[in-house]
Amino acid sequence: MFQSHELIYMALQKTGSTHIAGVLAALFQGAWHGKLTGASAEQIRATPFFLSSIRNPWEWYLSLWTYGVGGEGGLRKRLTQRKLLRTMGAPVNATGVWRRGRSRLLSLRDELVKDIPAWRTGYASSDNPAAFRTWLSMIHDPRNARGLGEGYGDSLSAPWYGFLTHRYCLLCCQNLQQLSAPSAIATYADLVRFEQDNCYIHEFVRQEALPETLSAALERVRVLTPAERALILGAQRTNKSVRPMAIADYYTADLIDLVAGRDRLIIEKFGYEPPALG
C-alpha cells in the first residue's frame, strides 16, 4: 500500500506494483506500507482516490510461479516449509474474521499433512512446464487452500474461486467478513454482487498497458505536467519476472479452463482473454 493525502494505491503482487509504487513515490508525498490486506473503514471514508492494478490471470499465475522458482516470495516459503506454530498464530485471519478453535485445528492438520516434496517439485525450474502445471493444479486444489495462507482456507468460497480472486477481494473490497459467512457467497452470482457492492477502487492500472493506464488514472487525481507524463511513460520497468518460454508453452487446454472457471470474476470484469495454444 502506498498512501498519500491525494490517493492510496493498493498493491496487488505481480501486477507491476513495484514499478507503480516507485512512480507514485516520485510524484506524491507519501509512504509505503507493506500490507497485504485492504484499506480500513476510516481510510475508505477519508481518502479521495483509490488506485490498484490488475493483470491477465493466466499471466499472473505464471509470474507468481516464476517469482517463487527464483526463491522469492512469502507464498513459496509457506508452501515449501512446515511451520506448525504459524497455524496457531494470529487469532484474526486476513479477512478480518476471528479464527475459532476449529479453524485453527484444521490449519494445524493441513500443515501436518502438507506435501512439501510435491510443492518443492512444483518450483523445480522456470524452464520446466511440467513443474508449473503441477504447481498450478495444486494451487487450485481446494484441499490446499489453508496452506496458501492469507485467510484463503477460511473463505467458504475457496473451493470454487481462485487464489488471484481471493487476493483481489482482500485488497480491493470492504466487508470481507462476508467471505467467511455461511451462505453469504454461495454462488458466482453472489460473488459478483459482493464485488460490485464492496469494491472501493476508483481506477485500475492494467499491467499489459501500464504506463498509459497509470497516466490516465493519475490524471483523475490532478492535472499532470508534461514532465510528469514523460516520467510515467518513460520510466524503466522494475522487478520483471524472467522465463525462457512463451506462456503457451506452460499451459494446457485443461489448465486454461481451470483458471477461466476459478478466476472468472477477474476475467469477465476486465475482459481478459486466455492464451492461444500453438
How does pLDDT run across 132-172, given as a tens digit for each residue?
999 999 999 998 998 898 888 887 777 889 999 999 999 99
Is 259 inside any structural domain?
A: yes
Cell of 30: 507519501
Is 277 inside any structural domain?
A: no
The pLDDT value recorded for residue 103 is 66
How does pLDDT run across 180-238, given as a tens digit for each residue?
887 788 889 999 999 999 999 999 999 999 999 999 999 999 999 999 999 999 877 76
Residue 238 Rama label (left phi>0; alpha psi -120 to 50; beta):
beta
Is 278 inside any structural domain?
A: no
Is 275 inside any structural domain?
A: no
Is 229 inside any structural domain?
A: yes
Is 276 inside any structural domain?
A: no
Is 134 inside any structural domain?
A: yes
The pLDDT value recorded for residue 158 is 76
Domain that holds residue 22: 2-270
The pLDDT value recorded for residue 34 is 72
Task: State whether residue 173 is helix, strand or coil.
Answer: strand
How does pLDDT run across 45-77, given as a tens digit for each residue?
999 999 999 999 999 999 999 999 998 889 999
The domain tally of the chain equals 1
Is 211 inside any structural domain?
A: yes
